Amino acid sequence: MAETIRSFGDPVLRSVADPVKDFDKELRALVRSLTLTMRAKPGRAGLAAPQIGVPVRVLVYSYDGAEGHLVNPVLELSQRRIVADEACLSAPGLWWPLERSFMVTARGRDMHGKQKTVRALGVLARVLQHEADHLDGVLFSDHLPAEEQRRFLSTVP
C-alpha cells in the first residue's frame, strides 16, 4: 500500500535522517513501502524515507530501467555540472531549473547490509543527489539563488 508523501513545510523534511544500524525485516518492509509509494506517483524517479515520515537514511530510485535502493548512501559528485528542470514529490506539479553534478558515484548498502555502489549520469545522477539531500533535511529549492528561491516558495501550495 502506498504511503502518504509529506509536503513542503512538514518539519520531518528539514530533519537530518538517522543512519540505519539494523538490517532487519523492518528495513526490508520500509524499502518495499518506499518502492511501492514511488511507483504509485506520476513522474516518479525517487523517494527518500523522510518523505513518508520515516527519518532514516534510505532512498529508492527508478529511472530508465535502473531501479533500486540505497541505505546510508554517501555520494561523490563530479565537477561537471548541468542545469535541468527538477521536481519533488513533496511539492507536486512544480518544476524548476537547477544546477547539479552530471555524474555521481553513490556508495551505501542494500537492505540486507551488502555493500552497493551505483554510478549514474544525467537524470539518474540528479535523482540520487535529490534524494540524498532529503536525508540531510535539504530541499531542492535550497539550491536555488535567493531570488529564485523566493519565487519558488511563493508557488508552493
What pLDDT is attached to residue 152?
83
CA max distance for the chain: 45
What pLDDT is attached to residue 133?
98
What pLDDT is attached to residue 2?
76
What pLDDT is attached to residue 92?
86
**Structural domain contains residue 117:** yes
**Structural domain contains residue 93:** yes
**Structural domain contains residue 127:** yes
Give the number of domains in the chain: 1
Edge-to-edge, what's the strand order for the sheet holding 46-48? 46-48, 58-63, 66-77, 103-109, 115-121
**Structural domain contains residue 91:** yes
Contact 138, 63 (CB under 8 A): no
What pLDDT is attached to residue 123?
95
**CATH number of the domain residue 37 falls in:** 3.90.45.10
What pLDDT is attached to residue 153?
82
Catalytic residues: 131
The whole domain housing 47 covers 11-155
What pLDDT is attached to residue 155?
84
**Structural domain contains residue 6:** no
Which helix (H) or strand (E) is 4 found in, with range? none
Contact 106, 132 (CB under 8 A): yes
**Structural domain contains residue 58:** yes
- pLDDT tens-digit profile, the chain (157 residues): 678 999 999 999 999 999 999 999 999 999 999 999 999 987 679 999 999 999 999 999 999 889 999 999 999 999 999 999 999 999 988 889 999 999 999 999 999 999 999 999 999 999 999 999 999 999 999 999 999 888 888 888 7
**Structural domain contains residue 3:** no
**Structural domain contains residue 4:** no
